[in-house]
Amino acid sequence: MMHQPIREFFKLPVQSQNDWEDVFANPSDIRIETIETGRLTFSNKLMINLSHPNAKHIEEEELTIPVYCHLIQHSVHGNFLIDTGLDRSFQFDVYGNIQGKRRELLWPLKSYQDKGQDIATQLLLRNIEIKGVFLSHLHIDHVAGVQNLPKNLQIIVGKDEPYHCSGKRFFQDHFKGIETIYEIDFTSIKDKKPVGPSVDIFGDGSLWAISTSGHTQGHVSYLVNGKEQITLLTGDACDLELGFKNCVGPGLGCYSIDSAQKSIEQLISLVKIFPQIKVIFGHEKP
């Protein structure tokens, strides 16, 4: 069985009521670097809702896509990861160390990683220490890398995001040794138009968690408001640029196709109003 940490609420700093225009007028000394941790091969029907009218011209096909994590470096608050990618067990097996009789059924994709490509090894080689990990959601390709990181890091996830497991029939024990993870509670947070509830993580407008439920229940996208660049990390609210261009949300296997569609439409509206935002999609080379 999978070890499931207890959940506590992530303590939020005082939230300002500024709109995005004010936020972007006051960027911070925060940088982001996207790091590849492996690849997945599977059908595009999981990444794009092929039943959507806008997707009529898109053929079903098998794609090989990158698996990312992102290093955030904030001059005051320190280093954090957003997602952790695949762990090193995927160097030896396309199912990594996923356990259980149903792993082939419930992980219907092949996953690959080159030697030294896991995030723990990459951070060690570069002598980078991190303070915590913000997760877009708990699917294995986003959280697996946690298992080789120090156990004292603060791990943060959207409220009500379920663990990606099915008892002993399908699980990966990536949270072994971790007592507590922290949930961002969006319930009392107002929409930050045109997107949904958005939380100012450090209280200085540098890093935002945007509730984008749909792909999974507690899915979160992140926005980095840097002096050099404003970057939106859609996470799996939009896996591919093709989805964004055609205004089609993620497909098969979503917690709610309708909410996922609403979430991607909100992100598209934000980027239409503020075209200076650089968008990094969940599984597309930036």
Closest CA to 5 of 130, 174, 216, 220: 174
Task: Please report how close the Cβ of residue 282 comes to Zn ion at its closest, in angstroms.
Answer: 5
Buried b (16+ CB within 10 A) or exposed e, 55-84: beebeeeebebbbbbbbbbbeebeebbbbb
Between 141 and 200, CB nearer to Zn ion: 141
Q: Distance (Å, rounded) from C-alpha 125 to C-alpha 132? A: 18
DSSP 8-state code for residue 161: P
Tell me if 141 contacts Zn ion by CB under 5 A: yes
Q: Which is nearer to Zn ion, 143 or 195 (CB)?
A: 143
Q: Which is nearer to Zn ion, 161 or 236 (CB)?
A: 236
Helix (H) or strand (E) holding 181: strand 180-184
Binding mask 226-245 for Zn ion (x = CB under 5 A): ----------x---------
Q: Which stretch binds Zn ion (CB under 5 A): 53-61, 109-117, 140-148, 169-177?
A: 140-148
Amino acid (one-letter) located at 181: I
Query: In the complex, what is the shortest distance from the CB of residue 285 to Zn ion, in angstroms, rounded to a whole number?
Result: 14
- For residues 201 and 223, what is the distance between their CA atoms, to the nearest angstrom? 10
Position 200 contacts Zn ion (CB under 5 A)? no
Least separation, in Å, of the C-beta of 140 and Zn ion? 9
Binding segment for Zn ion (CB under 5 A), chosen from 27-35, 134-142, 173-181, 260-268, is 134-142
What minimum distance in Å lies between the beta carbon of 237 and Zn ion?
10
By CB under 5 A, which span of 74-82, 133-141, 189-197, 255-263 interacts with Zn ion? 133-141
The vertex-144 CA angle with 239 and 49, nearest 5°, equals 20
Task: Give the pair of three-digit tokens for residue 54.
Answer: 């806008």
Give the residue among 216, 104, 103 at the shortest CA–CA distance from 168.
Answer: 103
Least Å from the CB of residue 232 to Zn ion: 16
In the complex with Zn ion, which residue's Cβ is closer, 87 or 236?
A: 236
Binding site for Zn ion (CB under 5 A): 141, 236
